[in-house]
Amino acid sequence: MEPATGRLLFIETSGAAGRVGLARGGELLADVALDQQRRHARDLAPTVHRLLTEQGWRPGDLQAVFVSQGPGSYTGLRVGLMSAKTLCWAVGCALVPVPTLEIVALQARGLATQVEVIEDAQQDRVYRQRFRFSSGDMPEPLSDLAVLEPDVWRASWSDGVMVTGPGLQRWHERLPSQVRLAPAERWLPGLAAMLTLGLRRWERQQVSDPLTLEPLYLRPSSAEEKWAALGK
């Protein structure tokens, strides 16, 4: 099946408010928010089942699952990736991971030539990655994904770079007034941008093994850090 006509499922659970959706090739057919109060683990599978039923699709009809790889919420990413991996392994469809900060960067297309995407890394730290738009209007990484102390991150900011990302929900009021921010409606990863990037990756055969794919974290969870601090 060609990517341009494939039946696709999206799972984006990097934050507190996750989303799932369906597409046929480049056409987004469904885009719904998960119930934040029920948590991703309880709401994800029933929502996917409902969307498939509404389209008259069975799980085996899917050609690919696009899943947000992180960084983001430990619990949310674990639930989303495990669900995507299990489904792809069971029905034999392609598993296409899409880096979350790249999704957000694409949503700033047309607003700036360089964007810095941040996400809350907990314990008073931030995930940071910088992108630029050049050929093809696709975000190209200018830096590796990193976890930084806030002062280090603020010191690395340069004039002319727009800042965006889920981390602004916590950090935007602490930034200097001269920092240029993307509109708030573009801070969170959306399925339209995820579709664009996912199709590009699928066409290039950038797919993953359901048995080995892991979230992008760069750091242990809070529970793991506390355990390590106890010398266990």
Residue 72 lies in a domain: yes
Over residues 188-227, the pLDDT tens digits come to: 999 999 999 999 999 999 999 999 999 998 754 444 444 3
Residue 2 counted as domain residue: no
- For residues 106 and 94, state if they share a domain: no
Q: Are residues 222 and 176 in the same domain?
A: no
Rounded mean pLDDT, 108-136:
92
Domain of residue 36, CATH code: 3.30.420.40
* Residues 195 and 225 both lie in one domain: yes
How far apart CA 55 and CA 66 sit, in angstroms, is: 18
Average pLDDT over all residues of the chain: 89
Looking at the structure, do residues 91 and 109 belong to the same domain, yes or no? no
Is residue 162 assigned to a domain?
Answer: yes
Burial 187-218 (b: 16+ CB within 10 A, else e): bbbbbebbbbbbbbbbeeeebbebeebebbbe
Instruction: Tell me if 1 is assigned to some domain.
Output: no
Domain count, the chain: 2
What pLDDT is stored for residue 221 in this prediction?
Answer: 47
Asked if residue 28 and residue 13 are part of one domain, the reply reads: yes
Based on the domain organization, do 72 and 34 belong to the same domain? Answer: yes
Q: What was the pLDDT predicted at 177?
A: 83
Task: Answer yes or no: do 74 and 144 share one domain.
Answer: no
Residue recorded with tokens 């950090």: 171
Residue 136 belongs to domain spanning: 101-186
211 residue type, one letter: L
Three-state secondary-structure class, residue 149: coil
Residues 26-48 have a mean pLDDT of: 86
Residue 40 and residue 79 in contact, taking contact as beta carbons nearer than 8 Å: yes
- At residue 77, the pLDDT reads 93
Mean pLDDT of 12-40: 89
Let me know whether 89 and 120 are in one domain: no
* pLDDT computed for residue 178 by the predictor: 85
Confidence at 232, pLDDT banded by 50, 70, 90: low
CA–CA separation, 15 vs 30, rounded Å? 19
